[in-house]
């Protein structure tokens, strides 16, 4: 690191400390990376929120080492949801659903709400059947998916979301013969489908009802908003490394770094320095305090 002098005084740069590091399970990650609505939430109190409003940078690292970088702005005020983009997820109509090795029909007596649920009956001897449709996702937005499923004569069933062949489970494989609700978060980075898969014999059937996919527009009180610059007003991530996994089942690590900006530095003819911060009303002193002189940061060539 180069020495910096001004008017014969030696000035030391302020070193930004690492504030916190840790890991988060993939199931707990709630990540919005869409431009204009960037935020992050681990669903855990006191992990992210203490660093809001203090010029802190966050680096999120997936299990392959790919990084997402941004600046923590403010504490979330509570989840707000957009409209349902899973058309006919209420199963009042089957228009738009693709059915494979089975057929959808109306079940009017056993339902969650509305006039009917969707009854999907397997019509081949294959071990499974499924139906799906493509929600109108905005890529990199965070979505909350909810619904209910019920085995009747099927063995088991599962609800998932994701690109074909790389699904994220919204509910572990269940054999329950009662209505079982599911709820999960998903950040689509490519075109994705919502799919219900049933496992059973030819002629077996199960029920599905009240499914939805809604974008989360603002984070919960455990989350924080993200801006592209320190204390900025553009709610984007600063950088998103190509190949970053926005739905990493293996989890993530994270680092939070202070980037507090000095209001001014004080130089000394001897090797000592004080650094005053407008961000947290904080003063750090090193060494002796002799022949000190205040230098405003504006216009100073920092050289480091």
Are 163 and 192 spatial neighbours (Cβ–Cβ below 8 Å)? Answer: yes
State pLDDT tens for residues 121-169. 999 888 899 999 999 999 999 999 999 999 999 999 999 999 998 999 9
Q: Higher pLDDT residue, 233 or 278? A: 233
pLDDT at 125: 83
Quick one: what percent of the chain has pLDDT higher than 70? Answer: 79
pLDDT at 258: 85
Task: Read off the pLDDT band of 53 (50, 70, 90).
Answer: confident
State pLDDT tens for residues 87-104. 999 999 999 999 999 999
CA 210 to chain centre: 24
Beta bridge partners of 20: 256
Q: Which residue has the tokens 């009180």?
A: 221
User: Of 199-203, 207-211, 229-233, 259-263, which has the strongest mean pLDDT?
Assistant: 207-211
Q: Which residue has the tokens 């054999």?
A: 175
pLDDT at 7: 58
Task: Kindly report the CATH class assigned to 82-217.
Answer: mainly beta
Tokens of 231: 């204390």
Q: What is the arithmetic mean of pLDDT over 14-28?
A: 81
Domain residues of the chain, as ranges?
4-10+262-296, 17-76+223-258, 82-217
280 has pLDDT over 90 = no
297 has pLDDT over 50 = no
Q: Higher pLDDT residue, 113 or 127? A: 113
Q: Higher pLDDT residue, 280 or 51? A: 51
State pLDDT tens for residues 207-235. 999 999 999 999 999 999 999 999 999 99
289 has pLDDT over 80 = no
Comparing 3-12, 133-142, 194-203, 287-296, the range with the smallest average pLDDT is 287-296
**Could you tell me the pTM of the whole model?**
0.81
């Amino acid at each position: 690191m180069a020495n910096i002098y001004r008017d014969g005084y030696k000035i030391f740069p302020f070193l930004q400390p690492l504030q916190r590091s840790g890991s988060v399970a993939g199931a707990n990650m709630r990540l919005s990376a869409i431009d204009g609505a960037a935020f992050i939430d681990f669903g855990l109190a006191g992990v992210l929120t203490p660093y809001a409003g203090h010029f802190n940078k966050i680096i999120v690292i997936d299990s392959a080492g790919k990084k997402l970088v941004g600046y923590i702005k403010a504490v979330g005020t509570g989840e707000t949801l957009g409209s349902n983009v899973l058309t006919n997820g209420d199963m009042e109509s089957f228009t738009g659903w693709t059915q494979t090795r089975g057929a959808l029909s109306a079940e009017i007596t056993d339902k969650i709400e509305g006039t009917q649920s969707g009854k999907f009956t397997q019509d081949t001897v294959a071990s499974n059947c499924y139906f799906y449709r493509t929600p109108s996702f905005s890529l990199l937005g965070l979505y909350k998916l909810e619904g209910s499923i019920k085995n009747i004569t099927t063995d088991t069933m599962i609800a998932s979301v994701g690109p074909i062949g790389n699904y994220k489970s919204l509910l572990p494989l269940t054999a329950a013969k009662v209505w079982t609700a599911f709820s999960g978060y998903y950040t689509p980075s490519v075109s994705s489908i919502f799919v219900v898969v049933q496992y059973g014999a030819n002629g077996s059937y199960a029920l599905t009802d009240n499914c939805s996919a809604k974008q989360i527009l603002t984070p919960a009180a455990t989350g924080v908003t993200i801006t592209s610059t320190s204390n900025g007003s553009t709610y984007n991530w600063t950088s998103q490394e190509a190949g970053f996994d926005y739905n990493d089942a293996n989890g993530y690590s994270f680092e939070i770094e202070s980037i507090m900006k000095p209001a001014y530095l004080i130089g000394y003819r001897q090797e000592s320095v004080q650094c005053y911060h407008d961000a947290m009303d904080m003063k750090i002193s090193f060494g002796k305090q002799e022949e000190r002189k205040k230098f405003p940061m504006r216009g100073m060539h920092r050289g480091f």
